[in-house]
Amino acid sequence: MGHLHHNYGPEARYAVEREASLPTTMHEREIARGLEYGLQGADSIVDRSIPTFSRGELPHFAGINTFLKAPYVEDVRKCGEYDVAILGAPFDGGTTYRSGTRFGPQGIRKISALYGPYSFELGVDLRESITMCDLGDIFTIPANIEKTFDQISKGVSHVYGSGAFPVILGGDHSIGYPTVRGIAEHHSGNVGIIHFDRHVDTQETDLDERMHTTPWFHATDIPNVPAKNLVQIGIGGWQAPRPGVKVGRERGTTIMTVTDCVEMGIDRAAERALEVAWDGAEAVWLSFDVDCLDAAFVPGTGWPEPGGFLPREVLKFIQLIADARPLAGIEVVECSPPYDNADITSLIATRVICDTLGCLVRAGHLPKKKGAA
């Protein structure tokens, strides 16, 4: 690496220095694979790394829409061969007003093609650090919430039990209950939950069913998922049903509003969230509802609410959480492409996942040690 001048900012200097140390081995393998499977490019193509058929990151507008163009693995029995497994939960049968989140996995995958595997600020190249696959979607049952929950729990349990880190593309927030249920069965100790949202989602029923307003009531009914380890970040506005607030008060959950987090500072807020979620727990699940952001940034969601987080606040928060301790997995929910504008909601969903994975890699939490659950 050549001499660096002194005009960089601290973060930029770290990023530039870090890039020089990143390997290119997997990128070179991807190029070789593309040439083998996609044929050498036409004679007029000067860059001989370009194949005839797109088989890698480039061009970003080409190819099949898997998440970050990760390989599609049709045989889900092989997911344990990868460090990270992405799976969709295209379900909006728990939605109580504006439906459309069943298209969330499609929307997130589509816009994820805009990204590459390298983050400048984090100094991480996912392609060079971990292996990822896309398993496609869980077969959800549109007319039956409970059968869909069983499908999701089985799918998530399979991936988690394989040793792969699960990334769930929602879907409405009702899936929070079955995803946690799928994780909890692999632990004898307690599981904590870090929940980003504008809504508490802790009432027992809504419209006489277990809907997207109820996942945490039922998740914290699981014996090893105590309510004291549920921390909810960003709650506020005019869409918080009082029955859910009552349940949280009675069960001793922790709520942090946007104002709480901003006034104490994102660093301290993240410390408190980690303290609560990890108190006596052996694993923590990250559940991210896109509507925790201000409605201006997430028009493509069912219950947008002004006054939420700014993107840079949320991304900082997520980075601190992923840096601190290994996570059991992550779900991103309530992304509704039919209501979106220029894919910006799907874009923030993608960014949250990428930053989480990047920080887990940077902190040494991914790839997981062989044999670790």
What is the tens place of the pLDDT at every residue in 118-153? 999 999 999 999 999 999 999 999 999 999 999 999
The per-residue DSSP string of 314-367 comes to HHHHHHHHHHHS--SEEEEE---GGG-STTHHHHHHHHHHHHHHHHHHHTT-SS
Asked whether residue 62 carries a pLDDT value surpassing 90, the answer given is yes
pLDDT attached to residue 268: 98
Listed in sequence order, the residues at least 6 apart from 209 whose beta carbon sits closer than 8 Å to its beta carbon are: 94, 145
pLDDT band at 368 (very low <50, low <70, confident <90, very high): confident
pLDDT band at 2 (very low <50, low <70, confident <90, very high): low
Looking at 175-306, which runs of residues are DSSP E strands?
190-196, 230-233, 254-256, 281-289
pLDDT attached to residue 1: 60
Question: Virtual CA dihedral for 258, 261, 263, 266, nearest 10 degrees?
Answer: -130
On the question of a cis peptide bond just before residue 23, with omega within 30 degrees of 0, the verdict is no
DSSP code at position 41? P
Asked whether residue 371 carries a pLDDT value surpassing 90, the answer given is no
Give the whole-angstrom CA distance, residue 316 versus residue 331.
18
pTM: 0.96
> Does 201 appear as a known binding residue?
yes
Distances (CA, A) of 299 to 96, 200, 202, 234, 303: 17, 20, 24, 17, 9
Q: What is the mean pLDDT of residues 161-189?
A: 97
Q: Return the H-helix or E-strand segment holding 96.
A: none
Give the whole-angstrom CA distance, residue 177 versus residue 146.
11
Count the Cβ atoms, other than its own, within 10 Å of residue 191. Answer: 26
Listed in sequence order, the residues at least 6 apart from 155 whose beta carbon sits closer than 8 Å to its beta carbon are: 76, 87, 89, 138, 182
CA-based nearest residue to 313, from 269, 360, 250, 255: 269
Query: Is 176 in contact with 215 (CB distance < 8 Å)?
Result: yes
Token code pair at residue 117: 């595997």
Listed in sequence order, the residues at least 6 apart from 75 whose beta carbon sits closer than 8 Å to its beta carbon are: none
Q: What is the mean pLDDT of the chain?
A: 95
Enumerate domains of the chain plus CATH numbers. Answer: 1-55 (no CATH), 67-191+278-363 (3.40.800.10)
Q: What is the mean pLDDT of residues 72-88?
A: 98
Angle between helices 145-162 and 176-184 (to 10 degrees): 40
Lowest-confidence pick of 203-207, 216-220, 285-289, 290-294: 203-207
Q: Name 84's bridge partners.
A: 132, 165
> Does 208 appear as a known binding residue?
no
Question: Virtual CA dihedral for 258, 264, 267, 271, nearest 10 degrees?
Answer: -90
On the question of a cis peptide bond just before residue 59, with omega within 30 degrees of 0, the verdict is yes
Q: What is the mean pLDDT of residues 248-259?
A: 97
> Does 197 appear as a known binding residue?
yes
Percentages helix, strand, coil for the chain (3-state, rounded to 5) are: 40, 15, 40
User: What is the β-pairing status of strands 165-170 and 84-89?
Assistant: parallel
> What confidence tens digit (pLDDT) does each residue in 20-61 have?
999 999 999 999 999 999 999 999 999 999 999 999 999 999
Instruction: Note the residue count of the chain.
Output: 373
pLDDT attached to residue 3: 78
> What confidence tens digit (pLDDT) does each residue in 333-352 have?
999 999 999 999 999 999 99
Give the whole-angstrom CA distance, residue 45 versus residue 57.
18
Give the whole-angstrom CA distance, residue 369 versus residue 357.
16
The per-residue DSSP string of 99-150 comes to --GGGHHHHHHHHHTT--SEETTTTEEHHHH--EEEEEE----TT-HHHHHH
Place of tokens 């190249």: 125
Give the whole-angstrom CA distance, residue 93 versus residue 91.
6
> Does 294 appear as a known binding residue?
no
Give the whole-angstrom CA distance, residue 38 versus residue 329.
34
Give the whole-angstrom CA distance, residue 36 versus residue 32.
6
pLDDT attached to residue 209: 87
> What confidence tens digit (pLDDT) does each residue in 194-218 have?
999 999 999 998 888 888 888 999 9
Asked whether residue 370 carries a pLDDT value surpassing 80, the answer given is no
